[in-house]
Structure 1
């Protein structure tokens, strides 16, 4: 067998083809770069995509056209607002209605919609748009983020369902709110804008308001409050739960374990939160003490729905009792459902840890619920998420205490609200110096992408070992 010798023609073709390969354009190189990250570290891709999106919206909000007075917004304010929008938090350092122009408010609203899709969804969409495909690892993480790990071939379809679901729910909410704003005397286009704004803000659990006084003027208007509460609650359940409800309705037997746990814990926290908030604020003259019985109940229910992530408020958070602020801290830290627009450590994390404690108290070897056994790996991820969240809040609170000198209860409230992307505020965000704003900005960003990315990375990080060490149990407790 002899080697084929290249002919002069083939050599010419080879020499002309090689420079073309080396001279690939920017887009092919970007495609290859994203392809490599998506296949090797999808969690890192998610983090990178979110950071780039934040920088883009920061640049847009820094433009003179974004502010109502036509001036350039300071960097710390533009970045804070961009992160708060993209991370669907709702904390503000300037008034959304007064400081930003229509263009600025539109940028915020688009940021809320984009950010509400979630880090892993955005990363998956980017990989699909640029490289037209997802690697196996990318598909696994994207599918796990929507709790559909057994349907890797349908990830693209599932991503389209996520976007379609968001648009449909927000459109329905807007169709309910727009006529009400018109009845209340607002102009046609203003009513459309406010209806769309609150529909997107509520479903994405963002808490941004398009009125200078927020939604306080509508504190007794059920046509405004109920759609907002419905949007916040459904947004906090998460896309995996919404898709299960779309497919199976209220047929409990066909729900998967994630859906059951999410809805159960969400309803428990809603009921307990409403009851405790009402008990603690019932006689507080600074909040609801002087209201009628029905108004007190409405405020309690509205507060409970929004505490865990919605961020809309009808009372001044500084005027609440200290016990109510502590309750709010706990519920904000808990957050909503996994792969949802809500923040916090997520209700399924709480459910898994509670079930593990019950199993340990009973002496059970496995953690069981609804005829299913929860794997040990899920509990390790839950512990990691809780510890990471508590650490971020502790470090952030320490820095804010050093920078602002404010009381601990006020600082802790703002730090948890930022990390849990809730948006309830004691106005510390607006009062803090730029250094404090940057700390809260970092908390919002890490709270939105940190624990989720950590959980996604740990979910696939399993090493097989051919040996094991002898067991030895240390004293715990």
Structure 2
């Protein structure tokens, strides 16, 4: 296993790129589509990149275009992409902690309760076990509900359950229904398991392992776990209330539903906003006042070393504490009686600002290539691709090839870029024997 840890920064993007190309070739086969036709390269590449990056954006009607073989390929690519990024992230974390030096390694282990290098196999086994167990539970619930309540044949109910369970936990977002999950949005037995699966997969295994560790109370969690879990709870609550407030009377989304269904749909959709990719309401009919909040939630994303994308919850809330400390004139940034290292603060700023730059450049590029897409729609699509959220305002299928290639690149960067960048920043730590005189430029 140690040979795999030597070059994890290079291995992750190469591995994902190779998987995308293999998936593209498989989806281009004539027997992958319903009409036994040849799939254009850009369509197959877009779908493969979307599945491997667990995004869920589509340029064709997924259930009607692809047949069972094509859908099975998408399922496998989603599973490989979800477990692959989590495994890669975990190996990078171990490699980073291994190369930080003895003193910093002890600090990392004390703060995050990381596994040692000798525990790699056990760690990867636990990751796979949790993922497959969660997917199995979701599959059983969905299968029984579709079989008993909706009179699906058992085989069809089982396949539908497996497909959506894999998509939910891995935050994939592909669905076997042309309207997404809108037709099932009033059934809590179908929607809630997928919503909780998406939330669980989006937490990240480091935070999840520590949260369920025997005898570990919340006040004993590491700062990283606290930022991830309590930050996720905060975003879910705020997003839920914001969506209810802005869409309560919108007749095209929540307005025509009875209030229990409004609450159910708002909660589930908010759970999918950050990276889940499913839609239980008509995304294209959202009010303009809802769009900024959704873009913000997508950009933040989920937890580190998770199936979610974005700049990560811990990055966002760490920056919030940095700003709060600066406004109060505090010399140090502290979170729950822990002083945050300056290197972590700089890394968080770098990740966030590079994310903003990528989204801005991608939006401008998409606008220049399309010439007909409104600016806010282009920003929504680009943010969705970069954060691997998978939601769309309906323009992705109509984009020219150039626009689709832009989204493909953004999905790839959003999936592996943050991990590669974060590990590179952590490994690029230098120690100088001298320091230059300090000066304070004017700011603001």
Q: TM-score, normalised by structure 2?
A: 0.93
Given the alignment of the two structures, is residue 105 of structure 1 paired with residue 75 of structure 2, yes or no? no
Asked whether the 8 Å contact 1:199–1:228 carries over to 2, the reply is yes
Matching residue of 2:287: 321
Alignment of 1:174-323 (within 5 A): 174-183=139-148, 184-248=150-214, 251-323=217-289
Structure 1 distance, partners of 2:62, 2:389, is 16
Q: What is the CA–CA distance in structure 2 between the aligned matches of 1:91 and 1:150, rounded to whole Å? A: 35
The equivalent position to 2:425 in structure 1, one of 444, 451, 458, is 458
**C-alpha contact (below 8 Å) 1:343/1:448 kept by paired residues:** yes
Task: Supply the distance in 2 between the matched residues of 1:267 and 1:78 (Cα, whole angstroms).
Answer: 36
Please name the residue that 1:16 is paired with: none
**Of the candidates 153, 168, 172, which is equivalent to residue 137 of structure 2?**
172
Q: Does 1:163 align with 2:131?
A: no
Shift of 1:295: 1.7
* TM-score, structure 1 normalization: 0.87
Pair 467,55 (structure 1): closer, same or farther in 2 beyond 3 Å: same
Q: 2: CA distance between counterparts of 1:337 and 1:136?
A: 19
Aligned partner (choices 32, 42, 52) of residue 66 of structure 1: 32
How far off is 1:44 after superposition? 1.4
Which residue matches 2:412? Answer: 445
Could you tell me whether the CA contact under 8 Å between 1:345 and 1:386 is conserved in 2?
yes
Q: d(CA) in 2 for partners of 1:276 and 1:392? A: 27
**1:393 and 2:359 matched:** yes
Is the alpha carbon distance of 1:386 and 1:470 closer, same or farther for their aligned partners in structure 2, counting shifts above 3 Å? Answer: same
Q: Structure 1 residues 266, 135: closer, same or farther in 2, change over 3 A? A: closer
Which residue of 2 is the match for residue 115 of structure 1?
A: 81
1:426 is paired with a residue of what secondary structure?
coil
Cα pair 1:62 1:73 within 8 Å, conserved: yes
| Cα offsets for 1:361-409 (capped at 9, x unmatched) | 1111111112211111111111111111111111111111112221011
**Runs of 4+ with deviation above 6 angstroms:** 143-146
Partner of 2:397: 430
For the pair shown, which has the larger CA radius of gyration, 1 or 2?
1
Change in CA separation of 1:282 and 1:155 when aligned onto 2, cut-off 3 Å: same
Structure 1, unaligned stretches of length 5 or more? Answer: 1-30, 128-133
State whether residues 87 and 444 of structure 1, in contact with CA within 8 Å, keep that contact through their aligned partners in structure 2.
yes
More contact order relative to length (CA 8 Å, sep ≥ 6): 2
Deviation at 1:137, TM superposition (A): 5.8
Say yes or no: does 1:376 pair with 2:342.
yes
Gapped runs of 5+ residues in structure 2? none
RMSD: 2.4
Deviations 1:220-249 (A, max 9, x none): 101101101110111111111221233237
Task: Name the SS for the 2:325 alignment partner.
Answer: helix
